[in-house]
């Protein structure tokens, strides 16, 4: 087992806790959520008047089935989705940051020139330009009913795009100026990256919803494991990296807990005396 660092509890009282989904709250390999989330984490947070919230790279329409019971029961009512670009509270959209049609078309032209397939991430659906075994490997664990429609963007709001290429082709993408000056890529799979505006992140979405709820950032805690959690863990009052997290994320976290399959969330909340 990994050695955990000395415990330094949050300095400010925690009033809201944001959870990443994949491999933080939800185990993708087994398509399950640890039983402690249902039986202890959520009930004890609510008992302490702490709001449980979601902060994910997924679009709302791509939430895993295992999470639906928690949503339907009202355990989660606050959602920072699509890397902070579509944010909801009790079904109301608090903020959203779509890409313009013109911006999407410029990205498409450059990816087509590189023979790189792409996808549109929208509030209600994910649509890919073309299907392939590699794309299926990346997307099926996230959304099994995605569409194949290269023109989907023409009649739908595009929050961000995905691009499908291995890490070794990144320099080609950079050289082709696909990202220009206002976009960034965040890798979430060996064959796929998120393409979104540089200023957008989970941290931006969190700031929006906290402002709406009139809560201070110092009173927010967040759990994550991936590279798209870097801004989130760096900006909230207290950031927790899962034991299975990327090393870059562990480096910015206030605390590194146990892995997801070893009840890492429950362990951290108890160790840090949040519940």
Active site residue 229: no
Q: What is the rounded distance in angstroms from the CA atom of residue 186 to the CA atom of residue 158?
A: 17
Q: What's the burial of 89, exposed, middle or buried (CB within 10 Å: 0-12/13-18/19+)? A: middle
CB 158 within 8 A of CB 122: yes
Structure tokens at 84: 């902070």
Catalytic residue among 20, 22, 208, 225: 20
Q: Terminal CA-to-CA distance of the chain, rounded, Å?
A: 24
Q: Measure Cα distances from 267 to 1, 129, 222, 274 in Å.
A: 14, 42, 14, 10
Q: For the chain, what is the total number of helices (H) and then of strands (E)?
A: 10, 14
As beta bridge partners, residue 117 has 164
Task: Report which DSSP code applies to 17.
Answer: E
DSSP state string for 68-116? HHHHHTTS--EEEETTTTEEEETTEEEEE-PBPHHHHHHHHHHHHHTT-
Catalytic residues: 20
């Amino acid at each position: 087992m990994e050695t955990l660092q000395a415990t330094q509890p949050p300095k400010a009282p925690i009033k809201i806790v944001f959870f990443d989904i994949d491999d933080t709250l939800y185990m993708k390999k087994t398509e399950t959520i640890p039983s402690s989330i249902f039986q202890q984490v959520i009930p004890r947070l609510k008992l302490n008047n702490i709001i449980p919230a979601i902060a994910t790279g997924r679009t709302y329409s791509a939430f895993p089935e295992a999470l639906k019971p928690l949503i339907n029961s009202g355990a989660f009512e606050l959602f920072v989705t699509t890397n902070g670009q579509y944010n909801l509270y009790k079904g109301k959209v608090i903020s959203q940051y779509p890409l313009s049609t013109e911006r999407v078309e410029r990205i498409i032209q450059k990816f087509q020139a590189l023979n790189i397939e792409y996808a549109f991430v929208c509030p209600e659906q994910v649509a890919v330009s073309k299907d392939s075994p590699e794309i299926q490997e990346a997307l099926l664990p996230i959304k099994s009913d995605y569409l194949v429609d290269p023109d989907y963007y023409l009649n739908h709001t595009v929050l961000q795009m995905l691009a499908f290429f291995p890490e070794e082709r990144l320099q080609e993408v950079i050289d082709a100026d696909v990202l220009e000056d206002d976009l960034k890529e965040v890798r979430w799979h060996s064959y796929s990256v998120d393409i979104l505006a540089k200023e957008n992140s989970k941290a931006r979405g969190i700031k929006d919803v906290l402002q709406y709820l009139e809560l201070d950032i110092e009173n927010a805690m967040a759990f994550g494991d991936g590279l798209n959690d870097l801004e989130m863990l760096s900006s909230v009052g207290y950031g927790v990296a899962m034991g299975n997290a990327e090393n870059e994320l562990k480096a910015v976290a206030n605390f590194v807990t146990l892995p997801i399959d070893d009840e890492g969330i429950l362990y951290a909340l108890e160790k840090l005396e949040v519940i």
